[in-house]
């Protein structure tokens, strides 16, 4: 399993995808705050966080009894880089996407 397939696997679960989106939107959050947002048990959330952490998607910071989680930008960048690496394949019908996003993919940093 490559790093990228592990990243995709981590994001293939709806709960985990939502977690990552919430962490990106709201910034660093403790595990408990994430538990509150889902109907699954705390241990289930903890396991999801572990999967995300082991896939390199999030990072953990301990403070007292709390564990704060945040998305690692590098993980998102590796996905962006992969899509951009194959841009020439799908850019043919990109106009619609460009119009929707009003962005220029050429400005993306691929370092």
**Interacting residues toward its own copies by CB under 8 A:** 1-2, 4-6, 8-9, 11-14, 17, 21, 24, 53-54, 59-62, 71-74, 76-77, 79-81, 83-87, 89-94, 96-97, 100-101, 103, 105, 107-109, 111
The smaller minimum CB distance to its own copies, of residues 43 and 106, is found at 106
Tokens of 95: 């106009």
Number of continuous H segments (helices) and E segments (strands) in the chain: 7, 3
Please provide residue 67's backbone torsions phi and psi, each rounded to the nearest 5 degrees. -120, 115
CB 58 within 8 A of CB 7: no
Pick from 18, 22, 37, 47: which binds DNA (CB under 7 A)?
47
Radius of gyration of the chain (CA): 16
Instruction: Residue 100: count other Cβ atoms within 10 Å of its Cβ.
Output: 8
The smaller minimum CB distance to DNA, of residues 39 and 96, is found at 39
Q: Which of residues 19-38 bind DNA (CB under 7 A)?
A: 30-33, 35
Instruction: Verify binding: residue 50, DNA, rule CB under 7 A.
Output: yes
């Amino acid at each position: 399993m490559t790093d990228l397939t592990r990243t995709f696997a981590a994001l293939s679960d709806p709960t985990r995808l939502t977690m990552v989106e919430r962490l990106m939107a709201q910034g660093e959050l403790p595990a408990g705050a994430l538990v509150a947002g889902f109907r699954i048990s705390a241990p289930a959330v903890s396991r999801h966080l572990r999967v995300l952490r082991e896939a390199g998607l999030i990072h953990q910071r301990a403070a007292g009894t709390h564990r704060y989680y945040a998305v690692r930008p590098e993980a998102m960048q590796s996905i962006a880089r992969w899509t951009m690496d194959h841009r020439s394949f799908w850019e043919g019908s990109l106009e619609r996407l460009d119009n929707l996003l009003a962005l220029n993919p050429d400005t993306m940093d691929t370092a």
